[in-house]
Chain A
């Protein structure tokens, strides 16, 4: 089966007064039908830009330098705004972090959903309304008929995010980009929204690209995980592979920095230093200067993604056969078993 979305060697850069910022560098990935792919990384690693480039929602000073975006079998890399407008909603859709800036504060929730349906599907107004109510029910809002005509300020943060989700799902897209959709929510609400996303995936078979910086959230929702650093995917694999058998020193670093994985009485191990500026990214591995396992070659030559298994690969020279044997400083499975 062909993947639903394919990125081939995608590079995106921004023109700024300081020079050209290389936000996404040579990223290749595939998204299959019904799959939830999580993209993890810290701010500025390029995860949001990557999604924006697929949606063609990049700021004006950004350009796709090279690479291909293939969605549902069609190469959309050079699609015009007019062609993209047809795809947004029917094929691709997006949910952002802050529901209040996404929703129109003056328009009833129901109307905002109906609008999205009427835009993309040839149905009568009455039919669209029925569908909007059904959607409100799907996303777990009680009394959808009564709430249909309420403005967003009547809703709590979690409910607003549900409504945003309803709008994104209104035209039955095949791929949903969710950019930190639960970051501004409380933990109990977050748990419900994550369960809802999983439930919607099971019911509709939609594919989801889930962007997050929270490894706990990712563990709950993701089938596959891609870890990004300095515009590149440094590790990608199934959730089990990335969490239980991480291979890239950056992934190790992220996990060791989590209070929830720290053993009692032991200090956290923060990753030293800061991510590099992407105006002039260092040659070789961008993580090398923060990496205690870095070898000489890491400062000179960029490591390619080296396969660990058919589904798991990591961009580190440690996986090269000439590299010395390194025991990962963190291993979830053995800790749980112990």
Chain B
């Protein structure tokens, strides 16, 4: 892991104008950076704006204001984005939660994995493409005979592996995973998490891992940001965040994770935080080294 940020986000806002009276501030002025080879976790509850961040970074939504730098290029700028479009598409990939919806049901596994590579013309020959598909299938621990299967013939865990394979086949620098295991069973979840860790170690991918499951984030990410109502309320090294949470919302969130220990759970009193009192006012600043907090 190096300390050069591969991605830097400054004061990113994403508003959705519903009508003249109502504008939804889905993301409201957040800043963070992700270093190369790092796993950066974003946690938050429904409506906190975490998935919007992912979509804006990928260029699905046109951001309202702010700046995004990817490998030094200011991709939030329309012209820069257009110039680097093919490079960006090769180097940033996203994996969605619902692999049933994300995969085209009329394409075989092979075609799904090949598509980003053929579109971006990264492979010189069909042999090379074929070798990469083979390698990628091995990476996600699917056997060769799945090549000709359709998504409908696969189980949830297998489909998610195909979605991951599509994301990593092109060897991107940055992978954004938006709740990639939320819809899977525990034993399958563990398989996919182990797969992510393995891939990360082997290929040095940079991951942005978005989840609502705090115990998973704690397990997988190096640094973590907690989002609430479009703001990052706290951001720190994962270990620091879980051991010394500062924001009352982070504390409430941490205390609500059910722990598989009956004695502990029965004695536990969950902390409460009234999110309706959260205004988002305040300044986001570094309180100790690498530990950022929104005060107010």
Contact = CB atoms under 8 A, between A and B. Distances in A.
A269 B194 CA distance: 8
Contacts of B130: none
B190 to A, nearest CB: 4
B219 interface: yes
A216 B262 contact: no
Contact of B186 (A186, A222, A257): A257
B155 interface: yes
A283 interface: no
A271 B155 contact: no
Contact of A259 (B191, B193, B264, B268): B193
B218 interface: yes
Interface of A is mostly: helix
Count class of interface residues, chain A: 35 or more
Given A187-B253, A260-B259, A42 B187 contact: yes
B186 A213 contact: yes
Given A187-B45, A253-B187, A268-B193, A259 B215 contact: yes
B262 A269 contact: no
A334 to B, nearest CB: 12
B260 A258 contact: yes
Contacts of A240: 262-263
A257 B189 contact: yes
B258 A267 contact: no
A140 interface: no
A213 B185 contact: yes
A257 B219 CA distance: 12
Select the residue from A42, A255, A270, A336 with max chain B CB neighbours within 10 A.
A270
A220 B46 contact: no
A267 B191 CA distance: 11
Contact of A269 (B190, B255, B256): B190
Contact of B219 (A191, A222, A259, A274): A259
Contacts of A157: 46
B186 A42 contact: yes
Q: Closest 5 CB pairs between A and B?
A: A216-B258, A257-B190, A260-B215, A270-B190, A259-B219
Interface of B: 45-46, 155, 157, 185-191, 193-194, 197, 212-216, 218-220, 252-253, 255-266, 268, 270, 272-273
Given A194-B258, A260-B218, 15 more contacts: A42-B187, A42-B188, A187-B253, A190-B256, A195-B270, A219-B260, A219-B262, A254-B186, A257-B187, A258-B260, A259-B190, A260-B215, A260-B219, A270-B193, A271-B187
Interface of A: 42-43, 157, 186-188, 190-192, 194-195, 213-220, 222, 239-240, 243-244, 253-262, 267-271, 274, 332, 336
